[in-house]
Structure 1
Amino acid sequence: MTRYRSIVMLLRLQGLEDDMLAFDFEGKDTFADAEGQNDYQKRLMAYLKANPEIGVAGYPDGTFRPYQKINSQEYAKVLLESLNYEDPADYTWGTVPAKAAEIGLVGDASDVNMATIIKELHFAVFTYDALTLFAKGSDVTLGEELGTPIVITKLDVKSVVSVNSSIQDVKLNKTTVVAPSTSVFKLVDSDNKEAAIESAHIRDNGTTIRLKTDALKANALYTLTYDGTAYKFVAKAADTDKPELTSAVATANKTVQLNFSEEVDANALIASNYTIDGLTVSSAAYEVDADDNPIKTTIILTTSSQEQGTIYKVVVKNVTDLSENVISTDHDEYQFGGLPKDEDKPELQSTVSLTNTSVELIFSEALDEAKAENVANYSIEGLDVLKAERQTDKSRVILTTSAQQTTTIYKVVVTGVTDLEGNMIDSDHDESLFAGIAPDSTKPRLVAATPLTNTTVKVIFDEKVDEVTAENAANYTIDGLTITSAERQDNEAEVVLTTSAQSSPHVYTVKVENVTDLVGNVIDSDHDDKAFAGKAVDTQKPEVKDAQSLGNMSVKVTFNEPMDKEFAELPYNYYLGAELGYPTKVVKDTTVTDGTVWILTTAKQASKVYTVDVTGVTDLSGNVLNEDKDTAEFAGIGTDDTSAPAVNSAVALNNNTVVVTFSEELDPATVVEGNFTFAYSSGNEHASHKLPENATKVILSDDKRTATLLFSGVTMKSGVIYKVTVANVTDAAGNAVSATTNNSALFASTSVSNPAPKVTSAMLLNNQTLKIMFSEPIMIDGSIDTDDVTITHDKTGVDEFTGTIQNTVLASDKMSLTIYYTGDTFESAVLYTAEVESAKVKDVFGLVMLDTENDNNKVLFGGINTEVKGAKISNIVSIDNNTFDIIFDQIVDVASLVNTDVKVKKDSTEITPVLVRAEGSDGNKVRVFFSGTPFDSSIVYDVELNKDHVINKNGLVMDDNTSKFVSVTTENAAPRLLTAVATSSDTVKVTFSEFVQGVDSSDFSIDGYTVDSVAKVDDKTYTLTLDTDTTTGELLVVSIQSSSDIKDEANVGSVDTDKTAKFVAK
């Protein structure tokens, strides 16, 4: 497709073609290459020049180039303009593929790129699809606007599958070329509440319509109605986790393997989404498994030739997961070492006959597909080579030959075959001998016939049989019965016959004829019949026999007889309670394949007891479930982490700091200097700039996934490749980094200096509180005293500031320090200077002191007249009828506040609490507990505090120590047992609903076991140690003894002894 034809189409789609044809082009401004073109081209070019709002600007040299071939990205941009999308308001040149996919012009962004030249067929499909879309700001399609509406063929819907909470895929039996309007669908939940459908577009080569919907409730049942037919499905959870690049490794001189944290979409196959400094990425493809199915977590890049020993960095952009989350910008790059060019020639290692007409050749390495599948590259004396197929592992080739002769020794000679680098087959290892084998002449035999129901019989052969002959019902006869259908089963050696109703106990004989095995041998006439006893009509209702968790997101449900697949595999026939909802998938078990066992994919389970409730499932005879036996309990399996953390990358932050990132959160106790070993790998290392084996200090980030290591007294020079190896570092579950894989990373050194921290700014919060900001996270060496922060000013007539430091608070991000003064105040309109003692403030490692050069430890700030005041009560919140919280207007010290400091009054009545303590982590709240139920919810009470025992950070006592409150009628619930979780085979962690006291081993009971000891974890949680190991998977119950003395923290409420907690033994 040429450039001028695409522009004419743009004008046609915008209704401007007639205007262009009537344009007088003579003497008008035009493009530089208009001279020599025909009049049509001249008119077109001048018209475009005169109407720049159309958006066709030409090339930088002023030419139009009408006969230039255009690619799919250029034509997609033309169609976006036709649909009223503007550049750059709605998209940019770089985001054309993404925008085209977003509005449904294409199914995937990968369909639009600069490499694909538009041919007439693609041109027609693109244009057709554009005519079916609504232009921006319009309520009709582009085709309707132009008077050429597209008639959409009715969809042949197969099923609806949820991708995540806001993406649902409509799977089709037949492909379609147009996505219908969202108005033809209706989506409702189980309460018939409608959910909006925002857009619909085609995916997967026309076999899927993807719907963008309102966020649906995870594991809840929904119904999508199309053309009067309802399709039920279970919504999956919202997926907001961005995919991450977890590793990159060169597998050959021109190939790099990338591994992602989850499956990535087809936009991962766009080569331009990958950049590698120093290399060109020419293609990207999914890795494939043994069955040639794509492995969507792994991408193979083809690059230009790498240099051995060079550290490259691959950066990924625009790649999304299947839920359309764009790759995390914090995990979108990875370093890898280049490999040398492969100069080893491939060798033929062995050859073996597989059948009378097939031979397998095994080579020493992966082969080029085109060369390996060229039959002219193989010769076998005495045989014709009819076909050559490279296998999935790329190093094996299977040849299809003419019929071999038994006991004949053949020699295969290979020529012209190359490896992936183009190295030709080694002429010293290009031939191999193999023995011909006889053809398979063994006839299949019928070995059994078993009735499944009153109208079905399963016949079993001794080998796999041909599908066409096996499913021809005319090939089976049963005297006294009519056979209406035959269906070969998944194992290919069994066939289920559907018959007329059988009589019991009548004995029938099934006879088979014309059925063949996979190579065409017809059924053995001496073994072609079997007797079976007719089965009576089954009226017995099936039952749920058992349910068992197989993993954190998998449950096995067992029935007492085989169930009908049509209903047993419907997710909405299984309900797992409010927490887990419905499963998202149900499949027949691959071990027990008779239909009695079904595997459910669930939401993430906790280590607790769940119940599955089954409805709508029938047995093979159509009997519905026994309503009295349609549920089963199972023990959920929590997320026990057994995977080892992996080293993702290492990067030199500066010349003495290295950052190592990991695949998951780490146990801080194991992130120590000795567990990181540094070694020289390549390059020119200076003798005075060698890295020692271990860093001086290591700090773990707040997200516990990044370790920052600093070398004191040592600096690197650029031009060196180092390797860091990690050992004995574990994740939160105790899994250690592997000793052999994913435990190291290469990084390039740098000469960039590690800057010392600097003071960047300061501001007053009031006239006695100063906040100082720093250039990087800091630590305080010891404590900050008044002499460590010098305050000066140069305003005449204003006294020197003589305040003393009462308190200091370092912010949680360690980027600022708040200083609370007492004894003096800063004056308004005075410009002050704060000079911080450099020795007291260091970088977060505690190794580099505050920078004093260029006064980087000094900062200016202006005085304000906002006075600091003592704390006030801002609110009193009633928790229940004997507990309330007092909330202050600022951070306070309540260490000396006791129960007698709190007085609650009404008239002459005074109520004193039994306990007062700080609440929460904000520093501005206390909780007050009372005995019994002393309050009337209809009365307003006065509260008075001892103001001398509530002190703010500036050292001031309360400014206002009184307030009022109204109680609530909510009863103070007794403390109760909430959960129990097995932490090992003989320990159980129990959690109460609130703080408790007086807990010991005699308070607990577990049938079959004795609690030997109790250890406090926190005020609500205790670990019980049992007298013996439990049995893995056992369902156990923790009870509180009726004689228990457990009380709440105020020693007012006694524990509820009726509450129990179930747990699953480890």
Structure 2
Amino acid sequence: MKIRESSRKILHILLAVVLIINLSIVGGSVYAEPKSEAEVCEILDVLKGDGKGLTEEYLSKPTERLQAIILTLRLAGNNYEKIALKYEGEDNFTDADVVSWDEGRNILAYIKDNPQFGWRGNTDGSFNPQGKVTAQMFYKVLLEALGYKQDYGEGGDFKWTEVMDFAFNVGLWDLMGLEELNNADIAVGIVEALQLPIKDSDMILLEKLVDDGSIEESKAIATGLLSEIIDIPEIVSLKEIDLGTVYDGEKVLLPNVVQATYSDGTVEDAPVEWHFDYENLTEGENTITGDVEGTEITAFATVNIVTRSLEVVSVGADNLIEIHVKFNKSVDIDRALNFNNYIVTSKEDKLKISKISLSSDRKTVTLLMDVPLKPQQSVDVSVKKEIGIKRNHDSTIDYVIDKYEPEVVSVKALGNKIIRVSFSEPVKYATHSSNYTLDGKIIGTSGLKMPNASTVDINMTKRLENGTYKLGIRSGIVDYAGFKVLTDPIEFTVEEDSTELDIEEIISVTQTMLKLRFTKPVEPIIKDQILAKQGGKVAVVEYEENMKTYTIEFERTAALRPEGTEINFFNITDLYGNKKTLKTTVVPTIDTEIPEYVDYEIKDQDKIILEFSKDVLPTGATYVLKNSDGNTISLAQTGWYKDGAGRVYRKKIELQRPGGLVFDPDYYVLSIQDVVDYTPQENRIIPITIEFTVVDNISPEVKSVKVKDRQL
């Protein structure tokens, strides 16, 4: 690819800078003094003088109208000047004879017969060829050279009265304020125009004149206004990238560069920006495209996506309070956190789960038990198929053993108010302030809080100064096997507050949910500190352990406006004690997707749990249930489903028979309609009918015992 670098030179500024020098020696290199406007015109043969070159005498002479005509033809290119010099026309201006030389009169005749060059003379048929040239007149000539046309009542770019304003807007301004021009002024105007792009093009006037042969390229380069053509190697081929097989849920790792072969034979890495959305990948062969930086060339990468069924990989425990369930791929969050999807028993006694957490890659579920397990205890764990696996997964941990002593993973300061201590496993007595010292002294705290079972936040009574401290952790902190935390004092640093409190990122926003991240941890925000202008009532505020990421839920009937709104956060306090009121404008994503039926579950033979693709309203839908005989079974819609820990699932609706009666073992058909999602739009489901069978899974019970005539 051949390109030419050209840039506009503001020569009169450069001349002022270099008036006192002819040559400058810098690091052994010699740099020539920039050319003056007159020198540029002389090199290009645009101004030729009166036989002695561009002398001071010639440059100081007033410019005549005939000279302006010649410059018009010269700047139009295509040898128009030579054609005009030899032109023999019968018609001419009435005062053409004042020009003493034949070729001059030929030029006048040519211009009269070719009004497209913008010279039409006077209304009485004269031209006044020896009249003086004004700035307005010459800028009109230069505008014509740049491809713009005067409007004579038949349409054009500018009228005569608009010449100076139009010229200024195009980029001609060095002759502003002048009236009659001399030849030196003409040189300034010419050089000014040579560096401007012609109408509707990126090509400057000088390039055009070189391309049509009116000016020699070597001369244009010699002026410094035009650079040499550079031959830049072009990419002729790209190596296609084969990413191989990737299982669903795994990361697709795309390279930042692609191997490119250039026209000169070289092979180099070229940066590429990929257009990639994991959600758009389908099972099988996929092609991903990207843009090679600085080009319009497309790069290609192929990947084979293999969809796997969700499976339990392992179930185990490395301490006495947690059970870890590992999967082969990411688990749906709602299903993973559903208490009813796990049953933990020991010797047929059901053990209570206190809390469920999910790893960041959503592949490991941790069950925090309500009561610690006993060493060497045998525990049965059942993972229900409702979590997304093909069938229930039952496994046994034969001997529960605490494999490791508890350790301190990290100690760090959050601002200058909180010291956060993270342990390798859940521990006891971590909220006792007597278990900590600061630089060997009793620690002054206003309270200790555990955001999770293995992390404690120590709120200091007084804010800490910037600097390095040592936190002592005494052996009173133990794990659930009784092993003590044994460690030397751990050093941590309170950094200088160098980050301004602000909103770092709007992670996501719908009409009912806003998730954002602050630039630094902040003290817990309550509903009264948040105001959405023009509607939007805050229902719930939650924050993550990093104390930077907040999720704000708005009431569905008082949601954010579709066109967006300003949200104010009042008196937000960071962990250095700085308070600030923040505001941001958000435009919510409008949810227009309809809810879809996903699955059902028969629970305890007296409940039908329906799962949908998104949150739905808890009431108002129509459900009609018929048994195998075609009889309608009465239903009561009890609302959103709640698990054993009281967690509400807005994607699930619970149906029961009136009075809590069980469903008889039978084949059933259930029609579902009028289900609407939990959005202001209330997107409505497409009516659907599902079929299922209820089996008898209720064990018989002894209701009474009677004895008669020695018979039981």
Q: By the TM > 0.5 criterion, same fold?
A: no
TM-score (norm 2): 0.31
Q: Which has the larger radius of gyration?
A: 2
